[in-house]
Structure 1
Amino acid sequence: MASISSLGIGSGLDLNGLLDQLNDAERGKLEPIEQQIESQQVQLSAYGELQGALSGFQGAVSALNDPSLFQSLSADVSGEAVQAAAGSDASPGRYDVEVQTLASAGSYATARLEGIQTLDDVVVSGGGELQLQFAHADNEGGESLPISIAADSTLADIRDAINAEQTGVSASIVNDGYGYRLALMSNETGREASITGMDWGDVTLADGVGFSDTATAVDNIGNDAQLTVNGIEITSASNQVEGAIQDVTLSLTQEGSSTVNVERDTRAVREAVAGFVEAYNSFKGTTGELTAFDSETGQAGELLGDSALRTVESRLRADLAGGVGQGA
């Protein structure tokens, strides 16, 4: 059977041409819709730029409108003995600070252990409670904290048992060149937190193991910080001193003198005002580009003549003018 290769064979009509013309006509109807879609997409993109500029300006306004901005204080320090940070309730003024002593953490090291050659050697054959002794001021005899030690413990086992209890000290092992010692360091500074000793009376040392009579224990009691503020003597267990100056935290860094000037933080206000001006200029620059018209090329900004943009600019001008009027 013969196939038909062209429409209209035998009729004399150019049906293929008619079909192409119909297709062109239908596509022509879609062109305005496609142009409208493209225009809407360009406009949406322009609104996105406008929203971004407005968000930036709104953030700058919020920062400038924060009451705490005008209540903030700064602490200017001369000298290297302290660093200072002022809160909102601090009192402006000048404070002369003299640091006599920094706070330090206490440490304790046992006498040298004799009778062990390696850290794998058993130190305690019979388990019990090892007592850590602290120099707390609320207890004239100090305070003891028990640490459970298992039988057949090595020096490393004892160290790990102390560290596992989180008693306020960190235990380590020191080799002084002739043998091993158990060393403890208080985690906090100040005299009250100092580790002052260890009582081994409840545990049984392994055969041949003992403490040296010559390489005895080393006890370093921690110090409280000693300082004066405008001549007033102050003691602190920590080098972070709070309350010596109202709502000012002093960080003691070294012995010596410093002067702390607490004053209104005008720098923060200046930065907020500069941020406001920059955000406003950025907003105006964006709106200028979106509403521009080039008479030579005939090219117009995406939002030229847009009523929403005109409303935004009008309300913004009114708000700024109203703010100036209230402050005048």
Structure 2
Amino acid sequence: MSVGSLGAGSGLDLESLVKNMVSAQRDTKVKLYNDKLEGFETKLSALGSVGAAIDSFKSSVKTLNDETLFTGRNAIIDQEEGNESIAISTDNTASNGSYAISVNQTASGSRIVSADGLFSSGDDIITTVGGNLNLSAGDDSFTLTVEPGTTLSQLRSQINNSAENFGVSANLVDDGNGNLFLTMTSSKQGAENTLRITNEPTPVPEGSELVSDVDDDLESPALIETGFGLDSVSTEGLSAGLYTPLGDEAKDAIITVDGISIRNDTNTFEDAVSGLTIEALAISDKPANVDISYDQQTVKEAVETFISSYNEMVSVLKQSSAKGAVLSGNSMIRNLQNSLSSELMSSSTNTGVFSSIFDIGIEMQNNAVLSFDNAKFDSAMKKGYTEVSPLFTGDTGLAESLDNLLDNYTGSQGMNNTLKESVRRSIDDTEESLNDYEKRMERYESTLRDKFTGLDSQLAGMNAQGNYLNSMLEKL
């Protein structure tokens, strides 16, 4: 039925009458449903905030519940910023102490270069018979099959593009005086890993054209090989065309630790000092003093994060359950607050230097939040660093008991999620009831329209009869 057509026959505003009747029946009840939904959504949001705060606190608790946190080591290196000669990483097996470490030599790869005057152009043909070229550095090697007629430029590309290349880079350098040099660098470090190139040319049958065409007046054996084999691009043999310049051999790294010289084929020394990984960065002018100690700063940061997340959680719990708040009187929050206070105030059962977390600089304020005393914490660390771990970790540690406590409130089976699921079901039920009620109102409106449509028709008929009678009477 088209809206606005009702009452057209009778001339009465029946459309407004139907709307007002439906509104009188519907609006108050729908508002109650919407208010109820809004309350549920507000409660769900509050529980979400509570859950997020608990999860954040639980994360900080888990960090403190890790024994390795308290066994970490810190390396302090006395060296000029921007001019570092070493870098050090530690593990929890490192012994506290001091070392004097200097770098005498850094590890490097090798470089080889072609002889002066051997090549003049990248188009120079290095072999007319082809063969195999083997490039090796220590235990690493790869072999190229060089075809007859290969040019110097083609060989460079073949080396650089080889899928088996272990770190050799070939380049061509022009000195501007008609000489072109083939250079190769290897990234393989270590004194036993200087780059070597050997070749195995394809045998040339005796009496072949290639042999008979060789000019007997050629003075350079290397040039003779350039025409046939691969000696011109090898480092081995009497007529080898490549050589390693003095000082460009692959080198070991050499460091001195407390007067003891240590050699390694890379710049990373993993076994020189137990628990330390030493990286040689540059040759040092003087020994760098290295102090290894417990990683107190990381522990402090973990404790501060624990305090911060605890205070944030306490604030969220208070705001959510305050008088007039949506979770006011919520038993889950009340039980959690009481349990947390009880756990924090409990003493450790360990017979160590510290009996509770309040002995290491953590303090409970009157408003139930925690504070942190840096000076007291530093003093406690000096007094008994190794005694801090039992306060938090292990079966009797605070972090372990808090973690177990929070398990009851977090996760899919936790109380917070159970409450949220209950609220979601209430939302679903209320929305379903609202939808059912809206459908009843639609049926109610339809019934009213049917009734008033009939009334409108009857009134329209009566008006028509009345108009007819009036017109007849006027004619008498």
TM-score range, shorter chain: 0.7 to 0.9
Which residue is 1:297 aligned to? none
Cα distance, 1:210 vs structure 2: 9.6
Correspondence for 1:161 among 158, 162, 172: 158
SS in 1 for 2:158: helix
Q: In 2 relative to 1, CA 113–156 (structure 1 residues): closer, same or farther, beyond 3 Å?
A: farther
* Alignment partners' CA distance in 2, 1:245 and 1:67: 23
Distance (whole Å) between structure 1 residues aligned to residue 32 and residue 282 of structure 2: 78
> Who is 1:222 aligned against?
250
Preserved CA contact (<8 Å) 1:82 1:252: yes
Aligned twin of 2:58: 58
Q: Report matched runs for 1:8-157 at 5 Å.
A: 17=17, 20-79=20-79, 80-112=84-116, 114=118, 116-117=120-121, 119-132=122-135, 134=137, 136=138, 146-157=143-154
Counterpart of 1:232 (choices 260, 263, 268) is: 260
* Partners of 1:95 and 1:230 within 8 A in 2: yes
Q: 1:132 to 1:21 in 2, by over 3 A?
A: closer
Per the normalisation by structure 1, the TM-score is 0.81
1:322 aligned residue: 346
Name the CA distance, whole Å, in 2 between partners of 1:70 and 1:216. 57
- The answer for unaligned runs of 5 or more in structure 2 is 203-224, 233-238, 357-476
Q: Is the 8 A contact 1:116 1:123 kept in 2?
A: no
Q: Are the aligned partners of 2:141 and 2:166 in contact in 1 as well (CA < 8 Å)?
A: no
Number of residues of Structure 1 aligned to a counterpart in Structure 2: 308
| Greater share of strand | 1
Specify the SS of the correspondent of 2:329: coil
TM-score, normalised relative to structure 2: 0.58
Q: Distance in 1 between matches of 2:6 and 2:142?
A: 105
Is 2:254–2:264's contact at 8 Å kept on the other side of the alignment?
yes
Structure with a larger share of its residues in helix: 2
Deviation at 1:89, TM superposition (A): 1.5
RMSD of the TM alignment (CA)?
A: 3.3
In 1, Cα distance between equivalents of 2:68 and 2:105: 36
Letter in 1 for 2:325: G
Shift of 1:289: 2.2
Report the counterpart of residue 273 of structure 1 in structure 2. 303
Of the two, which has the highest radius of gyration? 2
Cα offsets for 1:125-151 (capped at 9, x unmatched): 2210124354x4x9xxxx986432122
Deviation at residue 230 of structure 1 after TM alignment: 1.6
Match of 1:246 among 252, 255, 274: 274
**CA separation of 1:267 and 1:115: change in aligned 2, threshold 3 A:** closer
Relative distance call for 1:124 and 1:28 in structure 2 (3 A) is same
Structure 1: gaps of 5 or more residues:
294-299
Give, in whole Å, the separation in 1 of the partners of 2:169 and 2:16: 94
- Partner deviation per Cα, 1:48-95 (whole Å, 9 max, x = no partner): 111111111111111111111001111111133311111121122211
Distance change >3 Å, CA 18–CA 184, structure 1 → 2: closer
The AA in structure 1 aligned to 2:63 is: A
| C-alpha distance in 2 between matches for 1:168 and 1:5 | 90
Q: Is the contact between residue 119 and residue 181 of structure 2 (CA under 8 Å) also seen in structure 1?
A: no
